[in-house]
Amino acid sequence: MSSPIRFLLNDAEVTLTEVAPDDTLLDFLRLNRHLTGTKEGCAEGDCGACTVLVGRLHDGALRYEPINACIRFLAACHGCHVVTVEHLARQGELHPVQQAMVDHHGSQCGFCTPGFVMALYGLWMGNPDPSVVEIETALQGNLCRCTGYEPIVKAARAAAAAGGQAMDALTVERDDVTAKLAAIPPGADVRRDGKRAILPADTDGFAQALLDNPDATIIAGATDVGLWVTKFLRPIAPAIFIGHLMKEVDVSADEIRLGAGVTYSELLPVVEETMPELVDYIERIGGWQVRNAGTIGGNIANGSPIGEMPPLLIALDARIVLRKGDERREISLESFFIEYGKQDRQPGEFLESIIIPRPPGRIAGYKVSKRAHSDITAVACAIMVHEEHGMITNARIAFGGMAGIPKRATKAEAALRGRPFARDTFEAAAHAVAEDFTPLSDWRASEGYRSAVAGNLIRRFWLEQDGEDVRLSRAVGE
């Protein structure tokens, strides 16, 4: 039996009985509702011109986050409040963020401006007086090629000075929106032109839906699958949307347990609390909009050799729980990746949760890309070293981008174990890593570059642990 997609759009309630799984929110806004302030730029979640706010209930509390409408499928908006730039101005007056952009000449061609405004608005809903660094972090997923960022940052600071309460135009609506979202049934099942989109009400419903449709496309944050549609025109029907599921986070003294649907942004507070040395690594993944949508489980399950989370989690000796119907099995994350394009997952089976041991030693994560932020990875590296009384007792080093799967550098690890925690030991490991990989050359990086970077990241780990300042300019993308 079909059940409609229901959500709130600005101040209106929307009910849709015919939706295809590849219908995007951006097309619906522009073509169906004529809300053309939301722009289409890159159609892949990189430029931020399509940024809107999406509010969702989390444990009864309403939380808004900026996301990319170009790769947000319309079906995934079920149970949400979608806010576009048209909703900010009230009673003929610009919102303080909009007015500050005018006053400080933060716009030239204006194409990217609505996206900047929505990202900044999303920032101040949770942080009415952000620092410049926090502003820059919030704007990682927004590109401007006319104005430059200095006047935009000045506008952002000026808007903050206008006062925190004035920034939150949705405050007066929050209770009403919360009540309306709470009244929407949790599941949906719709079709258009014979193509079916399924939104299970809960994880048990997802498990059954996948058994019934083992060839369905599983869509969480759509930061990857979205491009299958917008760039490659790939069919994805039938599709099961799960971005609202598996959000559990449990932190204990020994380990961290994450539901596979936890996003990078939802993971960040946990990392800040338990592994603060990895905050910069997490904030290097995509832009803010991508981190608000992309999930840890999705980054693992798509099996990409350049995914950022698998090397980090492998270095941490993480385990995963795979589920098929009511049956579950637990395996090491490292063993999940078999070869390029092949993972240890049966038909009808899905990744349900990730178990991360608290690091017993020093840990670091590095991402090397052409741009410092919002860019695809050339090499990702994570290093965990445990030492006692000046001797290394255990080491785990994992790389992405160096092979067809995320993979440990076993020879480099062997060069560290049982050796003194000293420069010469890490120099030996830096040389040994060349025996672990024979990387490919592609448009991201050459074989020689990747090999050199792999060794240098091991050297960098030593320098950081020895107290030397090895921070590099963001202008060269590390």
Per-residue model confidence (pLDDT) at position 91? 81
CA-based nearest residue to 133, from 365, 472, 474, 468: 474
The pLDDT score that the predictor gives to residue 166 is 52
Transcribe 216-237 into DSSP letters. Answer: PEEESS-TTHHHHHHTT-----
- This prediction has a pTM of 0.94
Distance in angstroms (rounded) separating the CA atoms of residues 449 and 370 = 12
Q: How would you label 349-378 residue by residue, b for 16+ Cβ within 10 Å and e otherwise?
A: bbbbbbbbeebeebbbbbbbbeebbbbbbb
pLDDT of residue 273: 96
Alpha-carbon distance of 404 to 270, in angstroms, equals 30
Q: For residue 92, with 0-12 CB atoms within 10 Å meaning exposed, 13-18 middle and 19 or more buried, which class applies?
A: exposed
Cα distance between residue 399 and residue 347, in whole Å: 28
CB count within 10 Å of CB 90 equals: 10
Cβ atoms of 109 and 81 within 8 Å: the answer is no
Model pLDDT, residue 159: 85
Task: Specify the pLDDT at position 473.
Answer: 43
The segments of the chain whose pLDDT lies below 70 read 1, 163-172, 467-478
Return the pLDDT at 169.
60
Instruction: Please tell me the predicted confidence (pLDDT) of residue 167.
Output: 46
Q: Give pLDDT tens digits for 153-187.
A: 999 998 887 765 454 566 668 889 999 999 999 99
